[in-house]
Chain A
Amino acid sequence: MFFRLLKNSKRNVLLPLIFLCASPMISADWFALNMTRGITDISNEVFELHMLIFWICVAIGAVVFSIMFYSMWAHTKEKNPVPATFHENHKLEIAWTIIPFLILIAMAVPASKTLVKIYDDEAGDINIQVTGYQWKWQYRYLEDEVSFFSNLSTDLDEIYNLVPKGENYLQEVDEMVVIPAGKKVRFLITANDVIHSWWMPAFAIKQDAIPGFVNTAWTVVDEPGIYRGKCTELCGKNHGFMPIVVKVVEQDEYDDWVYGKRQEAIKLAELTTKEWTTAELMERGEGIYEVNCVACHQTAGQGIAGIFPALAGSDIALNNKDRHIEILMEGVQGAAMNSFDYLSEVELAAVITYTRQAWGNAENGDGEIVVPKDIVDYKEPKI
Chain B
Amino acid sequence: MSAVIENHHDDHHHGPAKGITRWLYTTNHKDIGTLYLWFSFAMFLIGGAMAMVIRAELFQPGMQIVEPEFYNQMITLHGLIMIFGGVMPAFVGLANWLVPMMIGAPDMALPRMNNLSFWILPFAFFILLSSLFMEGGAPNFGWTFYAPLSTTYAPPSVTFFIFSVHIMGASSIMGAINVVVTIMNMRAPGVDLMKMPLFVWSWLITAYLLIAVMPVLAGAVTMMLMDIHFGTSFFNAAGGGDPVLFQHIFWFFGHPEVYIMILPAFGIVSHIIETFSRKQLFGYSSMVWAMLSIAILSFVVWAHHMFTVGLPLAAEIFFMWATMLIAVPTGVKVFNWVATMFRGSITFETPMLFAVAFVVLFTIGGLSGLMLAIVPADFQYHDTYFVVAHFHYVLVPGAIFSIMAAVYYWIPKWCGNMYDERLGKLHFWLSFVGVNVTFFPQHFIGLAGMPRRYPDYALQFADWNMVSSVGAFLFGFSQILFLFIVLKTVMGGKKATGQVWEGAKGLEWTVASPAPYHTFSTPPKID
Residues of chain A having any CB pair with chain B under 8 Å: 2, 5, 12, 14, 18, 21, 23, 25-30, 32-36, 45-46, 49-50, 53-54, 57, 60-61, 64-65, 67-68, 71-72, 75-77, 80-88, 92-93, 96-97, 100-101, 104, 107-108, 111-112, 114-116, 118-119, 134, 158-161, 165, 167-171, 193-195, 197, 199, 201, 204-208, 210-213, 215-216, 230-241, 304-307, 334-336
Q: How far is the CA of A353 from the CA of B449 in the complex (A)?
A: 41
* Residues of B bordering A, CB below 8 Å: 60-64, 67-69, 72, 134-137, 140-142, 146, 148-149, 152-153, 155-156, 237-238, 241-244, 277-286, 308-310, 313, 316-317, 320-321, 324-325, 327-328, 331-332, 334-335, 338-339, 341-348, 356, 359-360, 363-364, 367-368, 370-371, 374-377, 379-380, 382-384, 444-445, 447-449, 451-464, 466
The contact sample of 11 A-B pairs, CB cut-off 8 A, is A28-B460, A35-B447, A46-B377, A64-B334, A88-B282, A93-B332, A111-B320, A169-B458, A206-B383, A213-B243, A237-B67
Residues of B within 8 A of A18 (CB): 60, 462, 466
Most buried by B among A23, A92, A104, A306: A104
A199 vs B451: C-alpha distance when bound (angstroms)? 10
In the complex the two chains form, is A32's CB within 8 Å of B464's CB? yes
B400 → chain A, closest Cβ, in Å?
Answer: 21
Instruction: Give the shortest distance, in Å, between B30 (CB) and chain A (any CB).
Output: 32
Is B458 touching A107 in the complex (CB atoms < 8 A)? no
A193 to chain B, nearest CB (A): 7
Instruction: Assess whether B343 is in contact with A68, with CB atoms less than 8 Å apart.
Output: no
Known: A14-B463, A111-B375, A213-B244. A80 touches B344 (CB 8 A): yes
Are B344 and A84 closer than 8 Å at their CB atoms? Answer: yes
- Give 18 A-B pairs besides A57-B371, A65-B363, A80-B343 with Cβ atoms closer than 8 angstroms: A25-B61, A33-B444, A45-B376, A57-B370, A76-B346, A76-B348, A107-B374, A119-B313, A158-B62, A165-B62, A168-B458, A195-B148, A204-B376, A208-B309, A213-B244, A234-B142, A237-B67, A237-B68
A124 and B332 CA atoms in complex are apart in Å by 47
Interchain CB contact (< 8 A) of A115 among B64, B280, B317: B317
Taking CB atoms, residues of chain B closer than 8 Å to A33 are: 444, 447-448
Nearest neighbor of A25 in chain B, beta-carbon distance: B459
Interface contact B136-A307, CB-CB below 8 Å:
yes
Interface pair B371/A240, CB less than 8 Å apart: no
A-B contact count (CB 8 A): 322
Nearest CB of A to B310, in Å: 4
> Taking CB as reference atom, which chain B residue is nearest A156?
B63
Q: Given the known A-B contacts A85-B280, A170-B457, A211-B148, are A111 and B137 also in contact in the complex, defined by CB atoms under 8 Å?
A: no
Q: In the assembled complex, which residues on chain B have CB atoms less than 8 Å from the CB atom of A239?
A: 68, 72, 453-454
With A67-B338, A71-B343, A108-B320: A233-B383 Cβ-Cβ less than 8 Å: yes
Given the contacts A161-B64, A210-B244, A236 and B149 also touching, CB distance less than 8 Å? yes
Q: Do B140 and A237 have beta carbons less than 8 Å apart?
A: yes
3 nearest A-B pairs in the assembled complex, by CB-CB distance: A212-B237, A306-B135, A306-B136
How many angstroms from the CA of A288 to the CA of B350 in the assembled complex? 61
Kindly identify which residue among B148, B155, B335, B342 contacts A193, using a CB–CB cutoff of 8 Å.
Answer: B148
Give the nearest-CB partner of A80 in chain B: B345
Given A18-B60, A83-B343, A194-B153, the answer on whether A28 and B459 have CB atoms closer than 8 Å is: yes
Q: Once the chains are docked, how many angstroms separate the CA of A232 from the CA of B359?
A: 31
- Smallest CB–CB gap between B327 and chain A, Å? 6
Q: Shortest Cβ distance from B328 into chain A, in angstroms?
A: 5
User: Which chain B residues border A194 with CB–CB below 8 Å?
Assistant: 146, 148-149, 152-153
Partner of B279, one of A83, A92, A212: A83
Are A50 and B371 within 8 A (Cβ)? yes
Q: A53-B370, A304-B136 are in contact. Are A210 and B309 (CB under 8 A)?
A: yes
Q: Which of the residues A27, A61, A197 comes within 8 Å of B364, measured between beta carbons?
A: A61
- Taking a contact as CB atoms under 8 Å apart, the answer to whether A72 and B279 are in contact is no
List chain A residues, Cβ under 8 A from B321. 108
The verdict on A77 contacting B148 (CB below 8 Å), with A29-B463, A159-B62 known, is no
* Cβ contact of A68, chosen from B135, B237, B338, cutoff 8 A: B338
Q: Is B374 touching A49 in the complex (CB atoms < 8 A)?
A: yes
Query: How far apart are B440's CB and chain A's nearest CB, in angstroms?
Result: 11
B146–A233 CB distance below 8 A: yes
Contact B338 A93 (CB under 8 A): no
